[in-house]
Amino acid sequence: MIETKDVYFTYPNGVEALKGVSLLINDGEFVAIMGQNGAGKTTLVKHFNGLLKPTKGEVLVDSINTRETSVAKLARNVGFVFQNPDHQLFCESVEEEIAFGLRNFGFEESLIKKRVDWALNLLDLTKYRQTSPFLLSGGERKRVALASVLAWDPKTVVLDEPTIGQDHRQKEKLRQFIVQLNTQGKTVVVVTHDVEFVAESNPRVVLMSEGKIVADGLAEKILTDEALLTKASIVPPQISQIFLQLSDLGFPANIIDVYQARDVLLKRLEARRK
Amino acid sequence: MSMFSGFQFRKISTPIHNLDPRIKFIFVIVIFAVAIMFNEFLVLVVLFFAHIPIVLVAKVQREWIRSMRGAAFLATIIFVTNLVFSYIYGGYQLAPWILENAIALTLRFVVLVESFSIFFLTTSPDHLGLALEQSHIPYEFCFAFTTAVRFVPVLAEEAQTIMDAQKARGLELEKGNFLKRIRNYIPILIPLIVSAIRRSLELAEAMESKAWGAIKKRTNLYELKVRKGDYILITLTIVMLIIAVYVRLYLSIPSLTSLISH
Ligand SMILES: Nc1ncnc2c1ncn2[C@@H]1O[C@H](COP(=O)(O)OP(=O)(O)OP(=O)(O)O)[C@@H](O)[C@H]1O
Ligand SMILES: [Mg+2]
């Protein structure tokens, strides 16, 4: 459980990036944090594992105040995958890279081997076991970074812009993977600009703007609220754009997903035919 | 890495910021020379505190404190090494002058960092480039230099992100003995170097595609002018240098230890 209580954060250069954020993320939730550039999303999630400490207010992770513990202790439970994998890869082989975190957390050597095998397999990287991470493609490096965090099986996973620079197939795989993590009981927090990605997984959406939370609710509600989205400079998914324009024909306005849309349309056609 | 943030330029207008970078650079060089000329504690303390009015006028105290804090780690190493070696050299006796000497040599380092940091904190990279060009240094060198300076903050920011990313994977920089601590920085240095190299290659390509060096004779939008403040500073600098040389040659500076023991 992660709870922020009226959190303010000011960077050393004086930029006030968070202005009173209160948010409760329960165990097993799937949350997408959205909002325009500079809204404070990255700043907020960096509070979840103690990388940043609030200037005012407090952050509780499993009822422990982040001020009273270390990043290393928090990171054991809150895995954080940074946007750019190049900011963390440094080992000679993918295998070593994945073992790095496990060694830091003091896992036994035999357990490390098991967890590495497991993570390699999970992200389809087994064939790159001995390869240098620097020789892999961008998408593959991203997967190595993800594997290196999932390897220690943190209870919560925070992903900052996981879909950037991924082709459609990788993105879909990643999406299914993230959803699967969540169904297996992990708390998942995703920071993203990708509306289609959010629309297809229908998580809880927390919308931020200028350091504050401006909306919080299910994706199908937030992604179909035109006034809100304009304010946060987000374009609704194409499917919901169509349904918003068709709403005076009696179509529901809260459709964001292609499969849902298909069902609604089929039902309508069926009714016509009769 | 906080030592780098002591070199980050912030655009504001103060008498110090508006000085001609060439004159400021001469000032820094003279400070350098004076700091090297003396290894007496008293002189170095004076040099150290002489910077504080400049810091205040330039309104960079926050950055200055950060750069001093950043220098603390290296300063400690210098202090300990000096102490240990002069202890061994002095026949395993811990005399007060050994301590004073070690402090003085540490202060010398701090003064060097201090004056360089103030120079970079108050000089925009563009002015620096202009200053070099107007000193008839070939443009290639000027460009390389300004680029290097401009990328310091970028690199510092990147170092911070990398550090965060590795801490999030359980890296504890402060853990272990001295050697282990140095080794702790490997996971930060490697990504930093790799990305710096990658960035420099990208920069070269971007420059080529913008026809860098296509025209031999370049013109500038802005020109640097030497103004009243600059004359004052250069005069002060020269006076300081003369006094320093005079004192070095003709006077002897008492050590703090001898002053106290009298
Ligand atoms: N290290 C830093 N130092 C100073 N200011 C920063 C730093 N990082 C971010 N900021 C500022 O804090 C504000 C919030 O930044 P943040 O990175 O949290 O936004 P974001 O919502 O993640 O944006 P994006 O969508 O572009 O990733 C911005 O105004 C930014 O300029
Ligand atoms: Mg961000």
- Give dist(CA A189, CA B253) in Å, integer: 65
Q: B87 and B57 in one domain?
A: yes
| Chain A environment of B168 (Cβ under 8 Å) | 49, 51, 71, 75, 79-80, 82, 149
Q: Closest ligand 1 atom to the C-alpha of A36? A: 25
CA dihedral defined by A227, A228, A233, A238, rounded to 10 degrees? -70
Q: B15 and B54 in one domain?
A: yes
H or E, element range at A158: strand A156-160
| pLDDT value of position B156 | 87
| pLDDT value of position B3 | 47
| Chain B environment of A49 (Cβ under 8 Å) | 168
Q: Residue with structure tokens 């013109």? A: B219
First and final CA of chain A: distance in angstroms?
A: 51
User: Distance, in angstroms, between A87 CA and closest chain B CA?
Assistant: 5
First and final CA of chain B: distance in angstroms?
A: 44
Percent of chain B with pLDDT over 90: 36
Indicate the average pLDDT of chain A: 92
* Radius of gyration of the CA atoms of chain B, in A: 22
Q: B90 and B207 in one domain?
A: no
| Chain B environment of A92 (Cβ under 8 Å) | none
Instruction: Out of A12, A72, A88, name the one closest to residue B165 (CB).
Output: A88
ipTM value for the complex:
0.86
Residue of chain B whose alpha carbon sits nearest to that of A150: B169
Question: CA neighbours within 13 Å on the CB side: how many for B39?
Answer: 10
Question: CA neighbours within 13 Å on the CB side: how many for B104?
Answer: 20
CA dihedral defined by B129, B133, B139, B144, rounded to 10 degrees? -30
Distances (CA, A) of B220 to B139, B225, B239: 12, 13, 34
Complete DSSP assignment for B9-74: ------TTTTS-HHHHHHHHHHHHHHHHH---HHHHHHHHHHHHHHHHHTT-HHHHHHHHHHHHHH
Cβ A259 under 6 angstroms from ligand 1: no
The answer to whether residue B100 is domain-embedded is: yes
Q: Closest ligand 1 atom to the C-alpha of A18? A: 14
Alpha carbon of A178 to ligand 1 centroid (Å): 25
Cβ A17 under 6 angstroms from ligand 1: yes
Backbone angles phi, psi at A58, to 5 degrees: -145, 160
Instruction: Out of A82, A89, A104, name the one closest to residue B171 (CB).
Output: A104
- Residue A235 above 60 pLDDT? yes
The answer to whether residue B139 is domain-embedded is: no
Collect all residues with Cβ–Cβ distance below 8 Å to B72 and sequence separation of at least 6: none
- Residue A68 above 80 pLDDT? yes
3-state secondary structure of A268: helix
Q: Which ligand is nearest to the CA of A33?
A: 1
**Considering its fold, how many domains does chain B have in total?**
2
A interface with B, Cβ–Cβ < 8 A, is 12-13, 46, 49, 51, 70-72, 75-76, 79-80, 82, 84, 86-90, 100-101, 104-105, 134, 148-149, 152
- Residue B2 above 60 pLDDT? no
The answer to whether residue B21 is domain-embedded is: yes
Q: B115 and B153 in one domain?
A: no
Angle value at C-alpha A208, between A15 and A251, nearest 5 degrees: 160
Where exactly does CATH 3.40.50.300 map onto chain A? 2-93+152-227
Q: B113 and B9 in one domain?
A: yes
Q: B105 and B6 in one domain?
A: yes
DSSP B122: T
The answer to whether residue B35 is domain-embedded is: yes
Q: B104 and B45 in one domain?
A: yes
| Chain A environment of B190 (Cβ under 8 Å) | 90
Q: A160 has which bridge partners?
A: A191
The answer to whether residue B129 is domain-embedded is: no
Confidence of residue A173 (pLDDT cuts 50, 70, 90): confident
Backbone angles phi, psi at B171, to 5 degrees: -70, 130
The answer to whether residue B141 is domain-embedded is: no
Indicate the average pLDDT of chain B: 86
- Give dist(CA B194, CA A90) in Å, integer: 9
| pLDDT value of position A188 | 96
Q: How many CB pairs under 8 A join A and B?
A: 66
Question: CA neighbours within 13 Å on the CB side: how many for B54?
Answer: 22
Sheet-wide strand order for A78-81? A78-81, A156-160, A187-191, A30-35, A204-209, A212-218
Percent of chain B with pLDDT over 70: 97
What's the CATH number for A2-93+152-227?
3.40.50.300
Q: A33 has which bridge partners?
A: A191, A206
Distances (CA, A) of B238 to A112, B21, B28, B117, B225: 65, 16, 12, 21, 20
Could you tell me if B243 lies within 8 Å of chain A, comparing CB atoms?
A: no
Chain centroid to Cα B222, Å, comes to: 27
Interface test with B, best of A87, A156, A161 (most B CBs within 10 A): A87
The token duo for B151 is 């990328």
Q: Which ligand is nearest to the CA of A46?
A: 1
- Give dist(CA A140, CA A134) in Å, integer: 10
Collect all residues with Cβ–Cβ distance below 8 Å to B3 and sequence separation of at least 6: B67, B70, B71, B74, B113
Greater confidence (B76 vs A14) lies with B76
The answer to whether residue B157 is domain-embedded is: yes
Q: Which domain holds residue B51?
A: 1-123+226-262
Collect all residues with Cβ–Cβ distance below 8 Å to B94 and sequence separation of at least 6: B87
Q: Closest ligand 1 atom to the C-alpha of A83? A: 27
Q: How do residues A5-37 score in pLDDT, each as one tens digit? A: 999 999 987 899 999 999 999 999 999 999 999
- Residue B145 above 90 pLDDT? no
Alpha carbon of A156 to ligand 1 centroid (Å): 23
Largest CA distance in chain B: 71
3-state secondary structure of A272: helix
Answer yes or no: do A87 and B169 touch at CB < 8 A. no
The answer to whether residue B130 is domain-embedded is: no
Cβ A233 under 6 angstroms from ligand 1: no
Q: B8 and B106 in one domain?
A: yes
- Give dist(CA B24, CA B123) in Å, integer: 9
Mean pLDDT, residues B8-17:
82
3-state secondary structure of A18: strand
| pLDDT value of position A156 | 96
CB B129 within 8 Å of CB B222:
no
User: Distance, in angstroms, between A191 CA and closest chain B CA?
Assistant: 16
Instruction: Return residues 50-109 of B near A (CB < 8 Å).
Output: 62, 66
Mean pLDDT, residues B173-200:
89
| pLDDT value of position B1 | 41
- Give dist(CA B199, CA A90) in Å, integer: 17
Mean pLDDT, residues B69-76:
89
Collect all residues with Cβ–Cβ distance below 8 Å to A93 and sequence separation of at least 6: A129, A130, A131, A132, A133
Confidence of residue B262 (pLDDT cuts 50, 70, 90): low
**Closest by CA position to A237, among listed A209, A186, A195:** A195
Mean pLDDT, residues A58-86:
93
